[in-house]
Amino acid sequence: MTGRGIGASVLRKEDGRFMTGRGSFVADIALPGTLDIAFVRSSSAHARISRVVKPTGAEDRVLAAADLAGLLPMRAPSKLPGYKPSDYPALAIGKVRFVGEPVAACLGASRAEAEDLAQAVEIVYQELPPVVDMLDARAPGAPLVHESWGDNIVLETAVDGDLEAVRAQAAHSVSREVRMSRQAMVPMEMRAVLARWDHRTDQLLVYSSTQVPHLIRAGIARFLELEQRRVRVIAPDVGGGFGLKCYVQPEELVACWCAIHLGRPARWIQDRREHLVADANCREHHYRITAHADAAGRILGVEGEITVDAGAYSIYPFTNCLEAAMAGGNLLGPYAIEAYRVKTWTVATNKPPLVPYRGVARPGVAFAMETLIDAVAREVGREPHEVRIDNMVPPSAMPYTNAARKVFDSGDYPEAVARAAQMIDVAAVRRRQRAGEPDGRLIGVGFGSYTEQTAHGTSVFSSWGVQMVPGYEQAGAKLTPDGGLEIRVGVQSHGQGMETTLAQVACEVLGIDPDRIAVIHGDTGLTPYSTGTYASRSIVMAGGAAARACRALAERMARIGAHLMQCETDDVRVGDGVVAGPAGMVPFSEIGRVWYMNPEELPDDVDMGGVEAVIGYRPDPDHGTFSYATHAAVIRLDPETGAVEVLDYTVVEDCGTMVNPMVVGGQCQGGAAQGIGTALFEESPFDAAGQPLASTFADYHLPGASEVPAIRIEHMITPSPHTEFGIKGVGEGGTIPTPAVIGNAVNDALRPLGAEVAETPITPRRVLAAIAAARGEAA
Amino acid sequence: MTKVSLTVNGEPVRAEVEPRTSLADFLRERLRLTGTHLGCEHGVCGACTLSIDGVPMRSCIVYAVSCEGAEVTTIEGFDDDAVMASLREAFTENHGLQCGYCTPGMLVTARDIVTRLPDADERRVRLELAGNLCRCTGYVGIVRAILAVLDRRRAGG
């Protein structure tokens, strides 16, 4: 061991290139003769396309759906009963279903030229009434997004439980209606694709800003009807993903079609307005939820209805059903609630497709459930954090199977709440509230707790009916001739620091310093198949696979080393970069030399696989390992303006064994900052005609350095019993409780006024409306 | 097309550009200096921040033709700069970057903060960073890195 393996805050190997401006994002890659593509996008939320009028003389540089011979519409299948798939054409066919939907593609030698052309294209529409709100979409007689369906319901699911007894028994039944608004994900690097036909390999070579290169490859091959061997997808440096870059996008298919049919490389580099208006959105949920509790606030049962606004189309490959599946399965959070009943509706509207964003449904779930817990606490007159502790699954009950059949593997949930209460100092906040602020502003403290199922495996994804079910994650480990190491993984690192953390895992097994280990990822031509980076799975799955591959390598090196030292394999030990025997040692460089350059020195019975191994891994059982945390915040609210300021924010989290505590901290802080965005600022509103109202950063507000406090973190470590090294996933968790934490803090501050908020983002307008409603005034 | 002469990273550059071409596009597409990133192209996110005559500017809303005679320094032009070297060290030590996309603009702004405001405290640093958005870090590591360099410089390091 070099002290740079698992558990060390090794500084990131990837930082150097980014800090010197030498990263390589898709838009940084230049290929001679590249065509830039600009799209003509629908100006209407719902309309029939009467005509596409191409500018005279430029007809060959404008493509409409009819021009794209051989390009199939995207269809994402699901085995879930009752699911209605939708055909999502790369360019609209017959009608448009949201503002921003691509209708025509214009080609130019530069983006500016392509945009000039796009401005000259005329689309003649015949307007149809749009359906914009998800509850309207459920109502009979609503305009139909897809006429052939007969309604707008994509999917209905239910968890049936018997609530009769607890309804009768409960001292308090507390109901709320809660909404999480639609928003954008806003990675700093937007979507981007560059495609060219490579005649040497007879392959379509696609540079795509994606989290899931192997799935993108499958999608491109499927919809362009190519054999998969003829498609190679490379995700170079990717400037953030957060779930957005997990689906095949229409623009990507058009760029690939152009590269195949026009004989020149083609690229589409999304701009920010396209991202905010026309890219997939996220998060839009509506809840009607009731908790039945005893006099002390112990919750006996929960029942609810969840509606998810999935937008116009189902995305490939994961469909638009995961949000509702996750919401219904996770509403109970970390609590031991015996009776549970929920119904979910996934509905289509004339808005961009909805895709899962960091936390996948659970930020909405936590916003509903955690604000309800606080409402129960207020009802029974107790401190919300104490009510939380009383309702949680205790460590003595682990492993615990809850009423939604989730299996919590390990952890001390109540302890995280207790520590968070201590860190945020609830008693001090209560004293400050009693004293009052000199300027009349109001102080509030809020908590939010969650569990996050991470690295869901085969059994979970297959139960969701999706086509791309993750199985055994594979990693390759290869000793280089000079004794260094290459790790190959099919996941993609876009900020998570896996070039460092996977090297730490390999270092833990083999003792090679991370600086001597190259982690190769994000390229279907160089890495084993993987469904990619999402669901907080990569360090669990690819980390576990890398460990297994390194162990396989160690066994083979042990045999070669023992032979060179003339001793028994059982008597050698592999580690610290050497094979050590009873009377000496052989460095890995010597093993490399013998295998590659002097095979005459190898033992006769050497493993012919040599010093390279590709090994598969999945946790056993593979139902996912549960990370958890409690966050707490203090806010200050101005009842005159409605403005909310976050004064302090703390995180007590447990993601099992930490590979790199510095990276874990960064994930938690970054996640919480995004959660603050969801809680207070970020919204993609639409007017009644389905027109998007936030199309620039002037209307779409992101949290900046002055809106996010210095987030404080305390770690707890309960290794998972099911995974390599006890690692649990951590990438998404930070975003999950934050809207609830801020919402609860705001409601705590508003308590003297009898007001409550129940919709994100908690903008000044919504705060003032809540205060006005409590006073019985119109807002 | 309009003629423009400027200095980029110490080298004289003469070019003919369309009046509508932004400095960012000119640097990225013509000079292949792709360390300057585009994150919004409407002057809000700060990813394209670079130095023009020693002042941090958003190159997505500066026309290339307006840079006649200007001295432009992009992230690629700071390799021999001692302040930037200490900022880079502090950014990596404090986990001030994840995906790395906002980092070039963030570093140029950070360099301006530590040289122009030697006495800046955390609150001031956060205020000064208001023109640079980061989606990954929650700003915690970035602010810590800048404060570390300010401390070091105040201690005469």
Alpha-carbon span A390 to A300, nearest angstrom: 12
Comparing alpha-carbon positions, the chain A residue that sits nearest to B136 is A670
pLDDT at A77 over 70: yes
- 8 Å CB contact of A19 and B34: no
- The tokens for B137 are 């870090």
Q: Using a CB–CB cutoff of 8 Å, tell me whether B85 touches chain A.
A: no
pLDDT band for position B156 (cuts 50, 70, 90)? confident
- 8 Å CB contact of B45 and A188: yes
Contact A266, A259 (CB under 8 A): yes
Please name which of B95, B13, B46, B20 lies closest in space to residue A665, comparing C-alpha atoms.
B95
DSSP structural state of residue A465: T
- 8 Å CB contact of B135 and A670: yes
Q: Which of A201-205, A619-623, A756-760 has the lowest mean pLDDT?
A: A619-623
Nearest to A21 among B39, B74, B93 (CB): B74
Alpha-carbon span B141 to A399, nearest angstrom: 36
Q: Using a CB–CB cutoff of 8 Å, tell me whether B30 touches chain A.
A: no
Region A512-532 average pLDDT: 97
Q: Using a CB–CB cutoff of 8 Å, tell me whether B1 touches chain A.
A: no
pLDDT given at position A2: 56
Alpha-carbon span A263 to A111, nearest angstrom: 18
Alpha-carbon span A690 to A401, nearest angstrom: 43
- 8 Å CB contact of B37 and A239: yes
pLDDT given at position A464: 85
- The tokens for A268 are 């589409």
pLDDT at B99 over 50: yes
pLDDT given at position A467: 84
Optimal mutation site among B36, B101, B142, interface A, most CBs of chain A within 10 A: B101
CA distance to A375, A429, A771, per residue, from A440 (Å): 24, 16, 15
Nearest C-alpha of chain B: how many angstroms from A357?
13
pLDDT band for position A482 (cuts 50, 70, 90)? very high
Region A631-659 average pLDDT: 98
Nearest to B99 among A240, A671, A704 (CB): A240
Give the phi and the psi of residue A174 in degrees, each rounded to 5. Answer: -110, 125
Q: Using a CB–CB cutoff of 8 Å, tell me whether B83 touches chain A.
A: no
- 8 Å CB contact of A240 and B136: yes
Alpha-carbon span A393 to A408, nearest angstrom: 9
- The neighbour count for residue A222, using CB atoms within 10 Å, is 18
Residue-wise pLDDT tens digits, B109-147: 999 999 999 999 999 999 999 999 999 999 999 999 999
* H/E run at residue A233: strand A231-234
Comparing alpha-carbon positions, the chain B residue that sits nearest to A26 is B34
- 8 Å CB contact of A239 and B132: no
Alpha-carbon span A568 to A558, nearest angstrom: 9
- 8 Å CB contact of B137 and A666: yes
Chain A residues lying within 8 Å of B102, measured CB to CB = 188
Alpha-carbon span A68 to A51, nearest angstrom: 16
Region B39-44 average pLDDT: 97
- 8 Å CB contact of A704 and B129: yes
- 8 Å CB contact of B76 and A18: no
pLDDT band for position A463 (cuts 50, 70, 90)? confident
pLDDT given at position A778: 62
pLDDT given at position A466: 85
Nearest C-alpha of chain A: how many angstroms from B100?
5
Nearest C-alpha of chain B: how many angstroms from A752?
30
pLDDT at A700 over 90: yes
pLDDT at A227 over 90: yes
Please name which of A473, A476, A471 lies closest in space to residue A549, comparing C-alpha atoms.
A476
- 8 Å CB contact of A705 and B38: no
pLDDT at A270 over 70: yes
Alpha-carbon span B141 to A53, nearest angstrom: 52
- 8 Å CB contact of B100 and A674: no
Chain B residues lying within 8 Å of A666, measured CB to CB = 95, 98, 136-138, 140-141
pLDDT band for position A1 (cuts 50, 70, 90)? very low
Alpha-carbon span A37 to A428, nearest angstrom: 58
- The neighbour count for residue A62, using CB atoms within 10 Å, is 21
Alpha-carbon span B113 to B124, nearest angstrom: 9
- 8 Å CB contact of B143 and A239: no
- 8 Å CB contact of B140 and A21: no
pLDDT band for position A744 (cuts 50, 70, 90)? very high
pTM for the model: 0.97
Helix, strand, coil content of chain A in percent (nearest 5): 35, 25, 40
* H/E run at residue A203: strand A203-208
Nearest to A188 among B18, B41, B99 (CB): B99
Nearest to B98 among A19, A495, A702 (CB): A495
Q: Using a CB–CB cutoff of 8 Å, tell me whether B61 touches chain A.
A: no
- 8 Å CB contact of A14 and B41: no
Bridge partner residues of A407 (DSSP): A401
Nearest C-alpha of chain B: how many angstroms from A706?
5
pLDDT given at position B72: 98
Nearest to A697 among B36, B42, B122 (CB): B42
pLDDT at A447 over 60: yes
Alpha-carbon span A696 to A611, nearest angstrom: 53
Angle ∠(A290,A672,A9) on CA atoms, nearest 5: 135
CA distance to A190, A652, A678, A745, B43, per residue, from A671 (Å): 18, 13, 11, 18, 25
- 8 Å CB contact of A662 and B76: no
pLDDT at B157 over 80: no
DSSP structural state of residue A482: T
pLDDT band for position A468 (cuts 50, 70, 90)? confident
Nearest C-alpha of chain A: how many angstroms from B95?
7
Optimal mutation site among B106, B139, B143, interface A, most CBs of chain A within 10 A: B139
Please name which of A742, A393, A455, A496 lies closest in space to residue A627, comparing C-alpha atoms.
A455
Give the phi and the psi of residue A648 in degrees, each rounded to 5. Answer: -150, 145
- 8 Å CB contact of A112 and B20: yes
- Which of 126-155 (B) contact A at CB < 8 A? 126-127, 129-130, 132-143
Nearest to A19 among B28, B107, B143 (CB): B107
Residue-wise pLDDT tens digits, A327-374: 999 999 999 999 999 999 999 999 999 999 999 999 999 999 999 999
Q: Using a CB–CB cutoff of 8 Å, tell me whether B91 touches chain A.
A: yes
How many residues make up chain B in this entry?
A: 157
Optimal mutation site among B98, B108, B127, B133, interface A, most CBs of chain A within 10 A: B98
For chain A, give the mean pLDDT.
97
Region A467-482 average pLDDT: 95
pLDDT more than 90, % of chain A? 97
